[in-house]
Chain A
């Protein structure tokens, strides 16, 4: 679920119901020519993985798409114009670490020379972060965004299939941890078996335990004696065995006579263990984990010490193998990710920065703190990533084509691949410039179908791949030359778009996964469509906790009265409880914070009559510079209202803020001529913000050219939407 998909929430519910019911009929399995798609759940995961492995290996590129339980954990975590790229990354990180992936579409595309067409193999995996391995695995909690869930429901997402049969996974880090803990128990297991440390901890003081112990002792000695006798004369003690048949089952364990214990409580088993240890030298207690039969408790008879040691070693190794196999099966869906990573294929997504962040956080490890670190780690796992959105928007020629249509995936699909979107049945002549795509599922190939269910990850991945193939074709990539298609990622015509992702679509910030640099968007048409002035983050103050009836206009009015009409460039609502104020000069940030502080400290008539008094009414108004905003965004908390979030976060460093302010204001207090000094301190504080390369770029372009007048209106309008 990507932000782009939320557009449809504007549609009225009734309309969408009608829409979804119509898509439901087309995708229902009864319909003969439904879009062929392989749906994978726990039940058919293993064979599908083998199949997919083969397809990925022979593919030219693999398209992916994810469906998530939500995008933003609270309204203010949405993407805003005032988000610097590092803040934007923190918001993406928040989203990827909180929400769950419920469906994962993988669609390998292979160029088939014989039919001069692409063959696509769309897979639709249901994923659910179930904990399969006690103590390890995905986080037990995930967030759902109500609108996203409702949105999925509208497109007939099968939640039952997802929760009942979704494939679970372990991230690489979780797997490492599980193996580490397995190895540590592996080492101690030997001593466990021989020393019985834990058994001695339970005192057998109560009568029942003593009686039970005695009974067990009799049972085992009887059995052992029987065994010894049996060597001479067989079949004599048959009768005595029958009555205890339910709990003791005779068997052979690796050619040794053994008793399988059944239906005992864990305490009773402990007592049995103790009895065996204490009274029988030739009997030993084993806890065997077997891949086939699961966990078993048995008592084994061995002739000699050497035999016992050999057996112990064997059991230990078997147990270890069983546990390893369990971890391997718990890795689950990550096998698919490992496959994509190890094959180093070109991964294709549509506006996929968030998708990649999800892939990283779910299947690799926790997301790093900065976009640079993240990009470097992603590049190691997936060396080639292409984003169709980049191709569509950075290329001037394609930009022209897309100008009038919407930018959603489905719209782009109909735009670029009309013959596929309409199903190949469409009567229009297929123009030679269109790339042909066939779909193959379970070895049956088809070239005609009805459109699939939108927002089903498998179909979305298929659409993305088709668009990519068409865009490559339009760029002049010739698939007919075998070499070029095998090395798609290194194709000269394509090369400059590979590994570029939109960090923020709204900003047009593009991040280069190879270098970690941000690439300025140089497309001429892009700059034309900008409605906002360049933002200077060091000039920004964020204010929250003011009286709820104050709107952006009034904030502007208040501050303008205090600092002059030209002081403010723009005011922007983050949510109902917070505003960004961009000043025209950096010094004004510290001036404002100082003024606010001094007004709050004095209760005299001046502070009441001061133009800022309206803003400070209620005494809960807080203000801080842009870095504080970043810090608040980076916090693991998520409150619905920004003011609540800020207060919760800042509670922890209240003193820090106060100290800053106090040191500033006390200096100011000492003598008025020190005022400038105080300002300098504040300035230093503010200048600690290191603008990133792109921000610098932007600022250089824009310094001094910001015109304050109509901008605010547009910002406010945006905020009110």
Chain B
């Protein structure tokens, strides 16, 4: 007992200490002005670290409209749709990255960075975003925390996603169609042979004139040469003579490239693309020697690199993280991952399975700290990292020392984007509390501790404990945390009198029809709409049939006359798929009903699935 008391005392002392030290935490701020040197720095830090914590600040969140958030009654699919709609609409303004290594069980070395982002249209192509949505409340709360919008909009780093980069390259005409795609050679036809021979003799002729032109320098010759240049399509490329050969198909490109190999190796063929991505011409550059050709190739390569860098912008950092294949530590896996995918990889696919497989290619391991906390019983409801950290600090004794080796960060950094650093601190602390060894072995397969593996690549759409959610009306059965129900047993109900509570609605329903004589539950989703769960299978369908049938009578008839509407879970799913995100759920469902009446095929192709009622609603996407 005494020791426990001591522990508590120590604990409090400790929390005081950490509070003091947190105020000293600093993060290196990166804008366009210092992006290039920071990129080099973070490259080495990423490669030398074990984990990378990330955290983002965007222009809005779905928190203002409760039902837009992931709810306990969401399936993996609808949860993904909700997360993806928020990821697509809002814009990233800040991306904090903190590569860190755990050196000892209670010591870690961190390199916190905070990148300010703005989707500036650097290339005048309407990318990365033509327009984006802002939420007034979100901006106001960022302002309260001292976010510098001027710095962000004036000096934020732009970026393009991988998909956008390839589009941009085509439109700018800098992308070279991959030669690999052209290797597929079908047997040459007569036409091919004729074409090749014609081009071959043309190149030969041109080569000879180029080689000889140095000798003769009379005026007439020069004039004739320049006329010939015009006629033949000769030109200069990087102060070397070159010949442009127009082509009409990819096949011809392939033939020319194959033929060039037969010539001495001072030729460098370049493919010139059109705006729409097809090949317009092949430019053949005549280098002075083989060394000169290599020089030219290197030069071109570095130009391409430079341009690519300019196009990719901040995505370089994402690519570095992705290439390192290091585990990424995130606060809310599904929100962060959909955001990263939509901004830096490609537009979000409509199916969750496609999303998961696409994401795993770039980020094989994403660890969700909120889930780790919840699952381990450390903390039930994790609202934000800051609260989680102070909670852990006050409730557990687990001293963790942090080291930020970079002096620059200490002097010039500030507190913006502290969440990534907090996240790495929290993670180390949790590992220490849960007695998990986060230390990644220096050699070998660099696998994570098996306890941690369980928490990677997990989406847990249900972040709310049903008991603590905002609509805690008297619904007794929700205490059963592990009760699973099929979506089929659930119906959505709206159009009841304003100001009703779940209890009132429940008793009104019970009095209205025999179907409600059994066990059922009512919960409000928002002020306009409630869900009813029938614990006895089949009743939900009966209820809907009664509502749609002619034989409606009694109390139910009274309710329906007052405007009561009902629909099955399928409509909710359709609504999510169609992207009908109105303010009120009732309004959205009403619209979804209109649509689903008009085309049934959207509904029929979807298989129904089970949802886990309550908070162990988790889909491990490695299993999928």
In the complex formed, the residue of A with least CB distance to B501 is: A201
CA–CA, A651 and B591, complex, Å: 12
* B residues 123-156 touching A (CB-CB < 8 Å): 124, 126, 129-137, 139-140, 142-143, 148-150, 152-154
A70, B120: Cβ atoms closer than 8 Å: no
Q: A147-B121, A163-B140 are in contact. Are A141 and B135 (CB under 8 A)?
A: yes
A176 at the interface (CB under 8 A from B): no
Q: Is the CB of B134 within 8 A of A150?
A: no
Bound-state Cα–Cα, A13 to B129, Å: 18
Residues 118 to 156 of chain A near chain B (Cβ within 8 Å): 128-131, 138-147, 149-150, 152-153
CA of A72 to CA of B591 in the docked complex: distance in angstroms?
A: 26
User: A549 at interface (Cβ–Cβ under 8 A)?
Assistant: yes
Q: Is A434 an interface residue (CB 8 A)?
A: no
Judge whether A698 is part of the interface by a CB distance below 8 angstroms.
no
- Which of A140, A653, A655 gathers most chain B CB within 10 Å? A140
Q: Does A335 contact B (CB under 8 A)?
A: no
B143 and A655 form a contact (CB under 8 A): no
A128 to B152: give the CA distance in the assembly, Å. Answer: 18
Contact, CB under 8 Å: A128 / B595: no
C-alpha spacing A146/B134, complex, angstroms: 12
B133 touches A141 (CB 8 A): yes
* Docked-complex contact B130 and A143, CB < 8 angstroms: no
Contact check, A160 vs B150: say whether CB atoms are below 8 A apart. yes
Q: Which of A13, A74, A152, A654 contacts B598 (CB 8 A)?
A: A654
CA gap between A144 and B142 in the complex, in Å: 17
**Is there an interface contact between A146 and B129, defined as CB atoms closer than 8 Å?**
yes
Min CB gap A201→B, angstroms: 8
Cross-chain contact of B595 among A143, A162, A638, A651 (Cβ < 8 A): A651
The answer to the question of B518 belonging to the interface, with a C-beta cut-off of 8 Å to chain A, is no
Q: How far is the CB of B472 from chain A (nearest CB, A)?
A: 11
Q: Would you call B550 an interface residue if the criterion is a C-beta within 8 Å of the partner chain's C-beta atoms? A: no
B64 at the interface (CB under 8 A from A): yes
**B136, A146: Cβ atoms closer than 8 Å:** no
Is B579 an interface residue when CB atoms closer than 8 A count as contact? yes
B506 to chain A, nearest CB (A): 14
Question: Which residues of A lie under 8 Å from residue B133 when comparing CB positions?
Answer: 141-144
Scan A57-96; emit 1 where CB is below 8 A from any B CB, else 0: 0000000000001101111000000000000000000000
Q: Which residues of A contact B591 (CB under 8 A)?
A: 652
* Chain B residues positioned under 8 Å from A246 (CB to CB): none
Instruction: Tell me, yes or no, whether B119 is within 8 Å of chain A by CB.
Output: yes
Q: Judge whether A159 is part of the interface by a CB distance below 8 angstroms.
A: yes
Complexed CA–CA distance, A435 and B262 (Å): 79
> Which residues from A are CB-within-8-Å of B599?
651, 654-655
Do A164 and B598 contact each other (CB < 8 Å), given the known contacts A143-B131, A648-B579? Answer: no
Cross-chain contact A150 with B131 (CB below 8 angstroms) = no
A13-36 residues at the B interface, CB under 8 angstroms: 13
- The answer to whether B149 and A141 touch across the interface, beta carbons within 8 angstroms, is no
Question: Cα distance A152–B136 when bound, in Å?
Answer: 18
Question: Is B594 at the interface (CB under 8 A from chain A)?
Answer: yes
Interface flag for B276 (CB, 8 Å): yes
From B129, B134, B140, B148, contact of A160 by CB (8 A): B148
Instruction: Give the size range of A's interface with the partner.
Output: 35 or more
B137 and A140: CB pair below 8 A?
Answer: yes
Interface contact A131-B136, CB-CB below 8 Å: yes
Q: Is the CB of A652 within 8 A of B595?
A: yes
Determine the chain A residues whose CB is within 8 A of the CB of B598 once the complex forms. Answer: 651-655
Is the beta-carbon distance between B136 and A149 smaller than 8 angstroms?
A: no
User: B149, A160: Cβ atoms under 8 Å?
Assistant: yes
Size band of the B side of the interface? 35 or more
B150 touching A549, Cβ below 8 Å: no
Q: Indicate whether A185 reaches chain B with its CB closer than 8 angstroms.
A: no
Q: Tell me if B136 and A129 are in contact (CB < 8 A).
A: yes
Contact code string A524-551 (vs B, CB < 8 Å = 1, else 0): 0000000000000000000000000100
Does A696 reach chain B (CB closer than 8 Å)? no
* Residue of chain A at shortest CB distance from B127: A146
Interface status of A640 (Cβ within 8 A of chain B): yes
A374 to B149, CA, bound (A): 35
Complex Cα distance, B131 from A654, in Å, reads 28
Residues of A within 8 A of B118 (CB): 149-150
CB <8 Å contact, B136 and A73: no
State in angstroms the CA–CA spacing of A160 and B142 once bound together.
Answer: 11
Task: Knowing A70-B131, A146-B129, A640-B130 are in contact, say whether A158-B136 is a contact too (CB < 8 A).
Answer: no
User: Which residue, of A75, A141, A651, has the highest number of chain B Cβ atoms within 10 A?
Assistant: A141
| Selected contact of B134 from candidates A144, A164, A653, A655, CB within 8 Å | A144
Note all chain B residues with C-beta closer than 8 A to A638.
Answer: 131
The complex places the Cα of A223 from the Cα of B20 at a distance, in Å, of 42
Whether the pair B143, A163 counts as a contact (CB closer than 8 A) is: yes
Contact between B150 and A146, CB atoms less than 8 A apart: no
Q: Is B619 an interface residue (CB 8 A)?
A: no
Which residues of chain A come closer than 8 Å to B121, judged between CB atoms?
Answer: 146-147, 150
In the assembled complex, the Cα of A13 lies from the Cα of B594 at a distance in Å of 48
Enumerate chain A residues within 8 angstroms of B148, measured Cβ to Cβ.
160
The smallest C-beta distance from A103 to any residue of chain B, in angstroms, reads: 14
When distances are taken between beta carbons in the complex, the residues of chain A under 8 Å from B119 are 146
* Closest A residue to B275 using CB positions: A720
Residues on A with C-beta less than 8 A from B142 are 163
A70 to B595 Cα, complex, angstroms: 32
- Distance of B482 from chain A, by nearest CB (Å): 24
* Contact pick for B153, options A147, A159, A653, CB 8 Å: A159
For B60, the chain A residues whose CB sits under 8 A away are 141
CA gap between A660 and B120 in the complex, in Å? 45
B592, chain A: closest CB distance, angstroms: 10
Contact of A144 with B131 at beta-carbon distance under 8 Å, contacts A153-B153, A163-B149 already known? yes
B-contact bits for A275-312, CB 8 A (1 contact / 0 none)? 00000000000000000000000000000000000000
Contacts A128-B136, A129-B136, A142-B133 aside, 8 further interface pairs with beta carbons under 8 A come to A70-B131, A140-B136, A141-B134, A149-B153, A152-B153, A159-B153, A160-B148, A652-B594
A sample of 19 inter-chain contacts (CB < 8 A) reads: A69-B134, A70-B131, A75-B130, A129-B136, A141-B135, A144-B131, A146-B121, A146-B131, A149-B118, A150-B153, A153-B153, A159-B152, A160-B149, A163-B139, A201-B501, A648-B579, A651-B595, A651-B598, A652-B598
**Which A residues have a C-beta under 8 Å from some C-beta of B?**
9, 13, 69-70, 72-75, 100, 128-131, 138-147, 149-150, 152-153, 158-160, 162-164, 201, 549, 638, 640, 648, 651-655
- Chain B positions within 8 Å of A, measured between CB atoms, are 59-60, 64, 91, 118-122, 124, 126, 129-137, 139-140, 142-143, 148-150, 152-154, 276, 501, 578-579, 591, 594-595, 598-599
Q: Which 8 A-B pairs have the closest CB atoms?
A: A159-B149, A655-B598, A145-B131, A153-B153, A163-B143, A164-B143, A153-B154, A160-B150
